[in-house]
Amino acid sequence: MGKKSIIGLFWSFLCIICIGFASNSAVFAQKTDSSKISIKPKPRVVSRLPVIRGSVQAYKPGNISFNTTSSTSTQSVNASNVKSGKILTILKLYPNPVSEYLNINMRLEKDANLSVKITDLLGNDIISLMNDRGMAGEQTKTFTIPNKLNPGIYFVKVNAGGDLKVLKISVL
């Protein structure tokens, strides 16, 4: 073998070694860690909702039963005879978005103290539109929106005798 072929063979061997080291480096190629590869199935997500087992009777809104002082007698009351605390019904709030005037169409089941307030998104009272005695029956109240109210989203709180209704409005 000649001197040139030995030098060529040396350079070829050196190149093979360099390429081998370069392929093991993370800079040139990314290797997969075979210890992290798993063929196990993914675990199932278990529902954390409680399961109620037993003889629980379904709720029936038409009948309310309760025990009196005697353990042998049970008194039953029909739910339609029990008065609910519902005094106020908001039928319509218009126009929405509001620019100058706000109309609230409502029904009061009985005479009650009626207050109408506008609050911001944080619940702070901005304006009290009404704080007066309201008469029973269906009625429409018209309120003027003051100019100091900046455009945005607000809530209208209508309270009649402790019955509170909250509605969202947009002010232009």
Tens digit of each residue's pLDDT (9 = 90 or more) over 46-84: 666 566 666 656 555 555 555 555 444 444 444 444 345
Residues 33/39, Cβ–Cβ less than 8 Å: no
Q: For residue 38, what is the DSSP state?
A: -
pTM of the model: 0.51
User: Where are the domains positioned within the chain?
Assistant: 88-171
Residue 106 Cα distances to 64, 88, 118, 133, 139, angstroms = 30, 7, 17, 14, 6
Q: What is the pLDDT of residues 104-150, one digit of tens each?
A: 999 999 999 999 999 999 989 999 999 999 999 999 999 999 888 89
Q: Cis ω on the peptide bond leading into residue 146 (within 30° of 0)?
A: no
CATH 2.60.40.1930, applies to 88-171: yes
